[in-house]
Amino acid sequence: MSKSISGKAFDFSLFKRTMTYVKPYNKMFYITAFLSILLALIALIRPILIQIAVNDNIKKLDKEGLLFITILLVITLFVESIFQYFFTLLGNLLGQNVIKDLRNEVFKKVINFKLKYFDKTPIGQLVTRTVSDIETIAEMFSGGILVIIGDLLKIVSVIICMFYINWDLAIITLIPIPILFFATSVFKRIIKKAFQDVREQVSKLNTFVQEHITGMSIVQLFNREEVEMAAFSEINKKHRDAHIRTVWAYSVFFPVVEILSALSIALLVWYGLGEVAKGYANSGEIFSFTFFIYMLYRPIRQLADRFNTLQMGMVSSERVFKVLDTQSNIENKGILTTEGLEGNISFKNVWFAYNNEEYVLKNISFQVKKGESLALVGATGAGKSSIINLLGRYYDINKGEILIDDININDIELNRLRKYMAIVLQDVFLFSDSIYNNITLNSETITKEDVVEAAKKVGAHDFISQLPGGYDYNVKERGAMLSVGQRQLISFIRAYVHQPEILILDEATSSIDSESEELIKHATKVLTEGRTSIIVAHRLSTIQNADTILVIDKGKIVEKGNHTELLAKNGFYKRLFDYQFINQTD
């Protein structure tokens, strides 16, 4: 979770880096900073006005003067409110602008990471980075740094003002302040730990709920409701306890502050009235000091919270920057953008491992000529899908060469390379969007007519038309409302409308009803016509016409030939064929 985080209260280099995102909004930043200074100074005016009112107007029963001061008081209050309004507005605007840019940058980074990165990084972690961590950075600006500057200015100016007005009185009334600072620092430590616990429990709750809703069918199929409920209840209880600890800290700290401020007031009254009697102070000063004391305690009390906000912002920015600093893109050094590649594919002694040296593909060599089709068959885990992952460079190979028209795929510009091919994956992912957008993937060059035409060709138009809303039917999250076969047909249309030179197809393994199977068989024929294609087939019926069939076992090619040749060989393929034939007829 929160590993290797410096946890320093204030990390200057991190802060400097965060501030680079403020640059485009410099004007807004300076205005807000200036407003915080103004607010600190304006706050002094009211106590002083009251002091004057008591000393000059009330004592002398000067009604006109009192009215004048009252009007001045109302005006200052009004001006202060306006400044406060702009301060809050601009501070938040600044924070939100900064995180808008930062979030775009993070997402842009994440969307370009290679697939290997996602194999190793929990989804929840990346969601947290791009959503809630960045939110915390915004608070750094709206509730953190600028407010702290304002509060510190206020504290200093109030203290200076108190000393300027009455030295003795200032010293006596400020006696409890060091105790307050001490209490604040203790409180800050406790509350920081408690908030960290809360955050951790919240993230546990999130993960648990997300996982169990996603896997709800398993929970219910295996009657796990009670067990899972108990596990949930345990995490929920921990969350409550952590939360209560924060409440406890506040409920102890606030009364302590109250007591200390009451102590300051008591000292003021006790000592101050004596001074007034002796003529060393006047009653107006007693009034203004009462205000000053309240003006001191409030910001000091809030400092602990503000520093925590700042610190959490620091932790979040460190995490976010770590994502930004991750170098995990597929190297795109290729410069060739040659138009009109023909689509001859060849693998030459290709070795590939997802991790270190655990090879899942061993010395794979084959060729597919332009317009021909190659089928891959073999048991689950043999390495068929892995071969497919390599051609579009979703993973890079360890040894050997992959060539398209005798050009090493590493030398072709990555986007260009991927444009040549369309891939239909084994598990079709659908976004929670309309069928139409799921097919075009928001490409502007594909029209509605293209989509309908493709659907008709592929043979999926009928079933899509029957859905409520037809092509506008919104497939809910992950397309759970559609059958596996239907989802795969949609991804066939996806591939068809993009008119690729090379087609790669990984057949869905899950059982597909015979009607869908017929449709898929037909669609496969339509899609592969006239293009170079590689098909991973689970139903051998689909590939009997393939030009070449490779039988893969444990990462190696064990047989090669067309359907008739392979049957004649009476080996792996024949066994696979007989097995399926028997299973189909029973």
Residues that bind ligand ADP (CB under 6 A): 119, 354, 360, 378, 380-386
Q: Which CB, 296 or 382, lies closer to ligand ADP?
A: 382
Q: Which CB, 382 or 452, lies closer to ligand ADP?
A: 382
What is the DSSP secondary structure assignment for residue 554, as one 8-state letter?
T
Question: What is the DSSP track for 400-469?
Answer: EEEEETTEEGGGB-HHHHHHHEEEE-SS----SSBHHHHHHTT-TT--HHHHHHHHHHHT-HHHHHHSTT
Alpha-carbon gap, residue 132 to 525, rounded angstroms: 47
Q: Which CB, 15 or 395, lies closer to ligand ADP?
A: 395
Residue nearest Mg ion, Cβ-based: 385
Per partner kind, with CB cut-offs from 5 to 8 A, the member of Mg ion, ligand ADP, none near residue 208 is none
Whether the CB-CB separation of 25 and 97 falls below 8 Å is answered with: yes
- Closest contact distance (angstroms) between CB of 382 and ligand ADP is 4
CB-based burial of residue 550 (10 Å sphere; 0-12 exposed, 13-18 middle, 19+ buried)?
A: buried
Q: Which CB, 319 or 384, lies closer to ligand ADP?
A: 384
Provide the residue count of the chain: 586
Q: Which CB, 378 or 392, lies closer to ligand ADP?
A: 378
Alpha-carbon gap, residue 243 to 52, rounded angstroms: 47
Per partner kind, with CB cut-offs from 5 to 8 A, the member of ligand ADP, Mg ion, none near residue 119 is ligand ADP
- Closest contact distance (angstroms) between CB of 535 and Mg ion is 12
Q: Which CB, 274 or 381, lies closer to ligand ADP?
A: 381
Per partner kind, with CB cut-offs from 5 to 8 A, the member of Mg ion, ligand ADP, none near residue 381 is ligand ADP
Q: Supply angle C-alpha 429, 435, 439, rounded to 5.
A: 70
- Closest contact distance (angstroms) between CB of 243 and Mg ion is 45
Per partner kind, with CB cut-offs from 5 to 8 A, the member of ligand ADP, Mg ion, none near residue 386 is ligand ADP
- Closest contact distance (angstroms) between CB of 543 and ligand ADP is 15
Residue 558's DSSP bridge partners are: none
Which residues of the chain form contacts with Mg ion (CB under 5 A)? 385
- Closest contact distance (angstroms) between CB of 328 and ligand ADP is 14
- Closest contact distance (angstroms) between CB of 426 and Mg ion is 5
Per partner kind, with CB cut-offs from 5 to 8 A, the member of ligand ADP, Mg ion, none near residue 360 is ligand ADP
- Closest contact distance (angstroms) between CB of 432 and ligand ADP is 25
- Closest contact distance (angstroms) between CB of 504 and ligand ADP is 12
Q: Radius of gyration of the chain from Cα atoms?
A: 36
- Nearest-10 Cα torsion for 211, 216, 222, 227: 60
Q: Supply angle C-alpha 449, 451, 452, rounded to 5.
A: 65
Per partner kind, with CB cut-offs from 5 to 8 A, the member of ligand ADP, Mg ion, none near residue 383 is ligand ADP
Per partner kind, with CB cut-offs from 5 to 8 A, the member of ligand ADP, Mg ion, none near residue 382 is ligand ADP
Helix (H) or strand (E) holding 331: none
Task: Give whole-number Cα distances, 189 to 2, 183, 254, in Å.
Answer: 18, 10, 15
- Closest contact distance (angstroms) between CB of 377 and ligand ADP is 9
Q: Which CB, 339 or 358, lies closer to ligand ADP?
A: 358
Alpha-carbon gap, residue 459 to 361, rounded angstroms: 35
Q: Which CB, 338 or 511, lies closer to ligand ADP?
A: 511
Whether the CB-CB separation of 111 and 326 falls below 8 Å is answered with: no
Alpha-carbon gap, residue 176 to 285, rounded angstroms: 19
Per partner kind, with CB cut-offs from 5 to 8 A, the member of Mg ion, ligand ADP, none near residue 431 is none
Q: Which CB, 437 or 580, lies closer to ligand ADP?
A: 580
